[in-house]
Amino acid sequence: MPLTAKPLAPCNVAIAARPSQRDGAAGRDMREPVELIAKVLEKHGYTPVIENQTSADLDGLPWRSVAMEAIGDQCGLVVAVGGDGTLISVGRQVALKNVPVIGVNQGRLGFLTDLSLANVEQSLPNVLAGRYREERRVLLETRHGEHGEPTLAMNDVVVNRGGASSLVDLEISLDNRFAYGFRADGVIVATPTGSTAYALSADGPIIAPFVNAFTIVPIAPHALTNRPIVIADDSEIRITVARAREAFTSIDGHQYIPLVEGDFITIKRAAASVRLWHPLDYDYYHTLREKLGWTETPEGLAPRKI
């Protein structure tokens, strides 16, 4: 991951948040973080603007709002406030405009949101001053059928059985060559970013973000021999619904496309990618240890001497 020492020139910086719906009080737990971040930006010579939906949820903020689709043309950086889902949603939407994103964690897990609110008054100015590392995260481009519109995913594309109780029969082709078929609840195609999401819970492998690979993970397959497979990320994947009472595709867990027998989707690496900014002390393996509860040394053993 390259070390970047170029400060961000004074510009508009967008703030996007996903307010909580707890207790029917949407936004109550996000107003203070958004206001704090906006004031930090102003203090250091940047102009905070609030993403439209965030501004509507947090009614009464004094800063100008901006539509998500306009952020790429008007802003030099996006600060995503929330959990990984917020950052993934924001990153996917600004990727085509090549705008960098940094996350402030207000969620539960936080694989991607590096900055904590507790020290954002110190950590965010450090990033703005050029003390950060930039990482590119790949995206999936998905099409439904021959002429479907392309849709981007940062985590994964899933085909599953929907609300039907019966399994679906799926066929996988790679680069226009039939690879294999299986019966299962569904299948996940995940990026390295998505390998620690739904794919991990389906017993898929963890893929480091700098590895040029995707993983195809069956969901509860009928045969135990149907195992996850890791493929090169320059492969084109075609998933055909060979038999199903009901099926659908989901994109990053949000966009749903109904499928019927004979339908297919194609998945490949997108030309665009997400620019993530990390603080200088970011370490992917430390994140895995911390978030997944791994120990640095097995319990009861002395630290290894090198």
Local structure of 292: helix, strand or coil: helix
Q: CB-based contacts of 193: which residues, under 8 Å, 6+ apart?
A: 88, 112, 137, 138, 154, 155, 209
Q: How many Cβ atoms from other residues are within 10 Å of residue 277's Cβ?
A: 22
- Of 29, 57, 84, 234, the active-site residue reads 84
What is the b/e burial string over 217-254, where b = at least 16 CB atoms within 10 angstroms of the residue's CB?
bbbebeeeebebbebebeeebbbbbeebebbbbbbbbe
For 89-129, the pLDDT digits (tens) are 999 999 999 999 999 998 677 889 999 999 999 999 999 99
Domains of the chain by start residue, with CATH = 3-131+280-292 (3.40.50.10330), 139-271 (2.60.200.30)
pLDDT beneath 50: ranges in the chain = 21-27
Q: What is the DSSP string of 121-142?
A: HHHHHHHHTT-EEEEEEEEEEE
Distance CA 233, CA 215 (A): 9
Q: 23 catalytic, yes or no?
A: no
Amino acid 305: pLDDT: 61
**Pairwise CA distance, residues 147 & 153, whole Å:** 18
pLDDT value at position 164?
A: 74
Tokens of 289: 């240890």
The residue with tokens 């994964």 is: 156
pTM of the model: 0.91
What is the pLDDT, as a whole number, of residue 304? 61
Rg (CA), the chain: 21
58, 47 contact by CB (below 8 A): no
For residue range 5-49, list pLDDT tens digits in order: 589 999 999 999 986 544 333 445 799 999 999 999 999 999 999
